[in-house]
């Protein structure tokens, strides 16, 4: 298994003992440089899509829109569906994988985080990390300033209120808000 497959599988990785972690580090440097260049200029929608497609190493549909600035630590583990709208200043920490399905709306300053560290306080373990995929299902809407933590799935047609911190899965057709996010309303289904 490659280091990238291990990260997507949620295996514990250790920066000090796994020599392949340098491959992730090298891609992170490339991603940082490419995003710095993209974010410092004024770019049209096609240029943003083309450049971000190169960073994530897969095409972004022409029906999707990304506003600048955008931030990512790795980039290669992001999947973006059709008719997705990503507002300005969003951050994707994606070593564990981030999947954004069709028709998703993402407000400004949203953070999707797919990497975590063990809670053990021993200094020797602080260099360990593992990935947990974040999934934003079809037709979900994340309000401004939402943070979605590792391993969370936002259900189909769900709405996450501005400023929420999502620590566990959100069922489809619900509205959640708060810190931590809790269900505040059930939405009607078709």
Q: Per residue in 131-145, pLDDT tens? A: 999 999 999 999 999
Given this model, what pLDDT does residue 37 score? 92
Give the pLDDT confidence score for residue 42 in this predicted structure.
81
Two structure tokens written together for 101: 């399905």
What is the per-residue pLDDT for 39? 95
Task: Tell me which residues are annotated as active site.
Answer: 117
- Please tell me the predicted confidence (pLDDT) of residue 61: 97
Q: Quick one: pLDDT at residue 135?
A: 98
Looking at residue 82, its pLDDT comes to 98
What is the predicted pLDDT for the residue at 122?
Answer: 73
CB 121 within 8 A of CB 127: no
Look at residue 124 in the predicted model and tell me its pLDDT.
Answer: 64
Read off φ and ψ for residue 180, nearest 5 degrees.
-70, 160
In this prediction, the residues of the chain whose per-residue pLDDT falls under 50 are none
Burial class of residue 19, CB neighbours in 10 A (0-12, 13-18, 19+): exposed
Report which of 136, 91, 137 is spatially closest to residue 115, judged by C-alpha positions: 91
The Cα 162–Cα 59 span in angstroms is 29
Give pLDDT tens digits for 148-165. 999 999 999 999 999 999
Q: Report the greatest alpha carbon distance in the chain.
A: 52
């Amino acid at each position: 298994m490659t280091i990238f497959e291990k990260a997507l599988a949620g295996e514990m990785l250790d920066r000090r003992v796994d020599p392949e972690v340098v491959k992730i580090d090298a891609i992170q440097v490339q991603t940082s440089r490419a995003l710095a260049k993209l974010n410092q200029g004024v770019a049209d929608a096609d240029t943003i899509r083309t450049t971000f497609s190169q960073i994530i190493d897969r095409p972004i549909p022409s029906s999707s829109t990304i506003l600048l600035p955008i931030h990512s630590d790795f980039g290669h583990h992001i999947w973006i569906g059709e008719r997705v709208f990503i507002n300005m200043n969003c951050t994707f920490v994606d070593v564990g994988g981030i999947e954004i399905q069709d028709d998703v709306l993402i407000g400004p300053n949203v953070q999707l985080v797919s990497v975590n560290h063990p809670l053990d306080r021993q200094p020797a373990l602080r260099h360990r990390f593992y990935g947990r995929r974040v999934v934003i299902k079809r037709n979900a809407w994340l309000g401004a300033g939402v943070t979605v933590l590792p391993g969370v799935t936002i259900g189909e047609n769900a709405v996450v209120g501005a400023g929420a911190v999502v620590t566990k899965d959100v069922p489809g057709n619900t509205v959640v808000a708060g810190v931590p996010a809790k269900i505040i309303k059930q939405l009607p289904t078709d």
